[in-house]
Structure 1
Amino acid sequence: MDRLIYTAMTGARHILDQQATTSNNLANATTTGFRAQLDTFRAVPVVSEGLPTRTFVVDNTIGADFRAGPIETTGRAMDVAVRGEGWFAVQSADGSEAYTRNGSFKVSENGLLQTSNGLTLQGENGPIAIPPNTDVAISADGTVSGIDTNQLQPGPANVLGRLKLVNPPVAQLVRGDDGLFRQQSGQVAQADPAVRVADGCLEGSNVNPVDAMVNMISLARSFETQMSLLKNAENNAAKASQILALN
């Protein structure tokens, strides 16, 4: 009887883990540059003194869906989307370098170019400083230029720096708890001059809300099946106790 209980229990537990992943993906369906997390089930044989007739279910996180999201035109000069493969390099909260596809930029109070959620962008020569009263423009190769708006007549654009655009193999990237990606080796990726960006655009999330909802319904039904198995085990135990009491 206990065999059925523990087998069904592992299935129910990991179904809840997948529900949490699916819910997180669905919650980020409108997050700029978000990459959906992918989970899958795998069977693990139960090793015991008896025959290997049972398996436990384990939720195996296989990584992220690195397919590009839809490109949406915003017309904002500081909205940038990566064309094809590639990443923006940012400084994470712990000071290490990490990678994101969030191209919604702003200028911080200290004059540094940052993402909309406050992460400092990394340039090829360090953080990029934006002088006050400057209109910012970003070219296709990531070059950041500025025009002084204090002058009566617009002057020539001054190059302020160049975004660090990288393109490490996606098989070597892992998602951190902060939602940013890093290389498994812990090494810093080198800038890739082949990566191109488009200004006035943002890349949306690659989560398909319809697929996520269908997956949630499927997982909910699977959870109900595991609960039914546990209920059957409880009923069988009750019937066995009655029979033993009669004897």
Structure 2
Amino acid sequence: MLKNVYAPLSGGVLQERIMEIISNNLANTNTTAFKEDDIAFQAQEANPWPSYATPHPPAPFKTNMQELWPLKGNEMAYVTLSEIKTAHTQGPMIKTGNPLDVAFQGDGFFEVMTPFGERLTRDGGFSISNDGTLITKNGAVVQGENGAISGLNGKDVSILPTGEVYVGKKFVDKLKILAFKDSTLLERLGENLWIHNGPPENFKMPEGEVTEGYLEGSNVNPMRNLTNMIIAHRSYEALQKTVKAHDETMQNANKISDVQ
């Protein structure tokens, strides 16, 4: 009887996780270059006859094995989390007119240096530090092909579609932009940063161009996420009622047993 509770309970726990992901998506609707997450789940199929090591029970214990078969494995279907997918689709282009704001239209990531090492970001809202270094909003140092992009005076700075950075007519460096064959090997770290957990073979040449004076908006679809939130909420309520109904049934069964 408890298994009749565990099945809808597993669904309720998953709906809670879905609500967390949707809430995070909606909270970042206006976050520059944010990529929304989606959750994938799978049914844990009933499997009452798994292959256990023999003998079971121990050989000295004499019994008919058929009497133990109903105790084997999972006799109910459950639902479990399969994976959390990130949609790396292009967000909308938002014009700012700031020459230090750049958006990469394509599959590339800007490389930045943080106190914890090299990281990746799609957020091209850059600025210039007091010592003339190109940095992100959080102070990470934007990387060029020759390291930190420095020597900027805050005036006459331009960034070409190729990623080349100029001060007036003087070439300074070129933005280091990385792209990947399999984006599922990227891990979100917060603060719009990512880290690559794959092998070197996963790197590829980025396809696209840098657009100066624009930022990439969030790719979150608010209406779709709100609809999914309503569905998840109603599903959770239905599963909660199912658990409560089975719990009441067990309580009534115990009362009948006590009377008898």
Q: Which residue of structure 2 lines up, in the alignment, with residue 71 of structure 1? A: 93
Partner of 1:154: none
- Letter paired with 2:25: N
Give the corresponding residue for 2:10.
Answer: 10
Secondary structure of the equivalent of 2:180?
coil
TM-score normalised to the size of structure 2? 0.83
- Unaligned regions of 5+ residues in structure 2, if any? 49-70
Rounded to whole Å, the distance in 2 between the matches of 1:76 and 1:45 is 55
2:32 alignment counterpart? 32
- Quick one: distance in 2 between partners of 1:143 and 1:188? 26
The residue that corresponds to 1:129 in the other structure is 150
SS at match of 1:22: helix
Tell me, yes or no, if the aligned pair for 1:25 and 1:207 is still in contact at 8 Å: yes
> Which structure has the larger Rg?
2
Deviation at 1:51, TM superposition (A): 7.4
1:164 and 1:191 in contact (8 A); partners too = no
Give the superposition deviation at 1:193.
6.7
For 2:102 and 2:122, locate their aligned partners in 1 and report how far apart those are by CA, in whole Å: 9
Mapped partners of 2:47, 2:144: distance in 1? 53
Shift of 1:24: 0.6
Contact 2:125 2:136 in 1 (8 A): yes
Aligned partner (choices 85, 103, 107) of residue 128 of structure 2: 107
Q: What per-residue deviation string (whole Å, max 9, x for no partner) do you get for residues 175-203 of structure 1?
A: 23324233332649768475411101111
Specify whether residues 137 and 93 from structure 1 end up closer, same or farther in structure 2 by C-alpha distance, changes over 3 A only: same
Task: State the percentage of identical aligned residues.
Answer: 31
Give the number of aligned pairs. 237
Shift of the 43–25 alpha-carbon distance from structure 1 to 2, 3 Å rule, reads: same
CA contact (8 A) 1:63 1:174 kept: no
**Match among 228, 239, 247 for residue 226 of structure 1:** 239
Q: Which residue of 1 aligns with 2:67?
A: none
Tell me whether 1:140 sits opposite 2:140 in the alignment: no
Q: Do structure 1's residue 165 and structure 2's residue 177 form an aligned pair? A: yes
The 1:225/1:190 distance shift into structure 2, 3 A limit, reads closer
RMSD: 2.2
**Structure 2 counterpart of 1:183, which letter?**
H
Hey, what's the Cα distance between the residues in 2 that align with 1:50 and 1:34?
46
Query: Residue 55 of structure 1: which of 77, 92, 106 is its match?
Result: 77
- Please list the CA deviations of residues 123-177 of structure 1 after superposition, one character each: whole Å capped at 9, or x if unmatched: 1111101333533110110011113xxxxxxxxx221211001221144532233
| Contact 1:107 1:130 (C-alpha < 8 Å) held by counterparts | no
Distance 1:181 1:123, change over 3 A: same
What one-letter code is carried by the residue in structure 2 that aligns with 1:228? K
Q: Which amino acid aligns with 1:94?
A: F
Where does residue 83 of structure 1 map in the other structure? Answer: 105
